[in-house]
Structure 1
Amino acid sequence: MPLVPPKPPTPRKTTRTAKPAVPGRKPATKRKVTKKKKPMAIEWKFAIVGLFLILLSPFYYGYVIKGFTSTWRWMKDWGQDPNYRTYNSFDIRIPKKYSVHGIDVSYYQGKIDWKKVKAMKEDEVQVKFAFIKATEGILSVDPYFQRNWREAAKAGVICGAYHFFRPQKSGEWQAKFFLQTVKFEEGDLPPVVDIEQLNGVAPASMRKELQEFISYVEKRTKVKPIIYSGLTFYKDYLKGHFDEYPLWIAHYHQAKLKVGSDTNWSFWQHSDKARITGINHVVDFNAFNGDSTAFERLRIPKILSY
């Protein structure tokens, strides 16, 4: 049987014909198409810059810290009388309704740094005024009076001076001694007489000598003196006798001064244990019964030579 020669293979059909490679050239690669990003709106740019400025601002952190402090204070005072809260810096509780605060000092407090006293502040409470002991009886001058009287005023603290009254001594002579020691000037607080004890004399005799003291000081300075006393002593021996004169009453660690609405009081010594920066001993702390305008009216307008 004769052999049939095999059929040649059918060539493959191709849809594309490759281009011959060009010597020395790399084969072309397909490029990725990237979409162009839209530029950030100008409003967003300003917003971001503003946010950074706020975050970097010290006022922002001051606001945050103040808010945190207020919240902490609110939590700490929970359950307490909101009108009689604790001030940590002063280490005492202070009635909140008063806006003008001050201290009174004598040799007992030692050497005082009045600049530090003036700079001390917690919330809105700071020392605006100071009553300074000047004299006692007819012979004793407080050893720190002249320094305190000079340095407190230089630091910007409004000053007043007081005399510790001895009922067994002449009221007029005590007044003369007091005014020889203290030279009141325009802007000072009125003179103060501190009466706390009978010292063995009858109440009527005490009031007689006290009236002589007050009358002499008022005649010479043309200013009504302030009478200082403890609440009990005032109620027992003074109430109804010197009602035309402003009062400064001591009544400690209470939320409210317990006197009648008819009592003409100007100052309340509500604590004897305050801690003040610049003073190395506890201090009496006082509140003025009125706003800053009333306080300014109380200050001495003008003193002629006496």
Structure 2
Amino acid sequence: MSPTEKKVTEIPNPFVPVKKKAPAKRKTATQKKKEQKNVIYWRIAIAGLLLILLSPFYYGYVLRSFSATWRWVLDIGQDTRYRTYKNFNVRIPAGFTVHGIDVSSYQGKINWQKVKAMNDDDVHVTFAFIKATEGVLSVDPYFQRNWREAPKAGIICGAYHYFLPQKSGVWQARFFLQTVKIEKGDLPMVVDVEQLYRTAPAKMREQLTSFINHIENKTGVKPIIYTNISFYQDYLQGYFDDYTLWIAHYYQPVLNISNKTNWQFWQHSDKARINGINQKVDFNIFRGDSTAFRKLLISQ
């Protein structure tokens, strides 16, 4: 600006109304609290999501599910169907030809002739595991009847003992042997171990070893070990690899366990309906064919 130039100050026109800015609205205390709560809820939700995504349990579950499904699809040697058999009211994994049940007093009085006669598209009951004893004192009230009547109907039988790890393994084995008289053509004896009952895992394995050693020494036949898949993976895996396993794992097209595991029986459902039995029944498959099944039976 040159020295001769003068700065002209603009004079406001008094006839033009001046727009006033509206005063800012103040938030009430209730609104502030609500916004703070929303922020807290979002932070909790995000933190929870991060915990789930970063959790090894989450990834372990996803990987196990993916592995089971992938094995099911890629298992070339096995029919991949997992169909429902209406007469039995259960879905049965395909690719197996030897089927069976396991029973106890829960099933009540059984008409074994009707059990044997039941057939749905060539699926029928070939074998039955029958509860005999529990601990050192309890005998299943229906054992003797089932043990007598099932073979008469042409069903191959095996007896099982419900194991209590807080009790002496040797005494339980003696009690089992006093109750059950096995014969040629029977399935090997079974020990059912599926709970710790506040017993240390090492102590449970010690008593279980005593039990199976006593049974094997007295009968000359290794017993079968029954358990559910989680109990096996948590407490038994790597300790009893020389023994035949019977694994419970429900409502799956494949048994989600290593093929190197010595499992021969799979309890795949606990909701089967069988003619001649008024209650729901556990349904099982044998891993091999009828020839392999016969080889497993007691030969002398």
TM range (shorter): 0.7 to 0.9
Match of 2:120 among 97, 119, 122: 122
C-alpha displacement of 1:101: 0.1
Structure 1's unaligned 5+ residue stretches are 1-80
Q: Which residue of 1 aligns with 2:86?
A: 88
C-alpha displacement of 1:261: 1.6
Aligned residue identity for 2:136? I
Q: Secondary structure at the match of 2:288?
A: coil
C-alpha displacement of 1:83: 1.9
Structure 1 residues 20-99: aligned runs within 5 Å: 82-99=80-97
Q: Which residue of 2 aligns with 1:246?
A: 244
Q: Which residue of 2 aligns with 1:70?
A: none
C-alpha displacement of 1:160: 0.2
Q: Which residue of 1 aligns with 2:30?
A: none
Structure 2's unaligned 5+ residue stretches are 1-78
Computing the radius of gyration over CA atoms, which structure comes out larger, 1 or 2?
1
Q: Which residue of 1 aligns with 2:290?
A: 292
Aligned residue identity for 2:265? F
Q: Secondary structure at the match of 1:212?
A: helix
Q: Secondary structure at the match of 1:131?
A: strand
Q: Which residue of 2 aligns with 1:221?
A: 219
Q: Distance in 1 between matches of 2:286 and 2:175?
A: 28
Alignment RMSD = 0.8
Q: Secondary structure at the match of 1:229?
A: strand
The count of corresponding residues between Structure 1 and Structure 2 is 222
Q: Secondary structure at the match of 1:180?
A: helix
Identity in percent: 68
Q: Which residue of 1 aligns with 2:146?
A: 148
Q: Distance in 2 between matches of 1:242 and 1:100?
A: 25
Q: Secondary structure at the match of 1:284?
A: strand
Q: Distance in 1 between matches of 2:80 and 2:89?
A: 17
Find runs of 4+ consecutive structure 1 residues off by over 3 angstroms.
none
Structure 1 residues 166-205: aligned runs within 5 Å: 166-205=164-203
C-alpha displacement of 1:175: 0.1
Q: Distance in 1 between matches of 2:113 and 2:274?
A: 11
Q: Which residue of 2 aligns with 1:207?
A: 205
Q: Secondary structure at the match of 2:283?
A: strand
Aligned residue identity for 1:173? W
Q: Which residue of 1 aligns with 2:61?
A: none
Aligned residue identity for 1:104? D
C-alpha displacement of 1:82: 5.0
Q: Which residue of 2 aligns with 1:263?
A: 261
Alpha carbons of structure 1 residues 82 and 258: separation in structure 2 relative to 1, 3 Å: closer
If each structure's helix is expressed as a fraction of its own residues, which one has the higher value?
2
Q: Secondary structure at the match of 1:122?
A: coil
TM-score when normalising by structure 1: 0.72
Q: Secondary structure at the match of 1:268?
A: strand
C-alpha displacement of 1:262: 1.0
Cα deviation 1:42-79 (Å, max 9, x = unaligned): xxxxxxxxxxxxxxxxxxxxxxxxxxxxxxxxxxxxxx
1:158 has 2:152 as partner: no
Q: Which residue of 2 aligns with 1:282?
A: 280
1:235 has 2:233 as partner: yes
TM-score when normalising by structure 2: 0.73
Q: Secondary structure at the match of 1:301?
A: coil
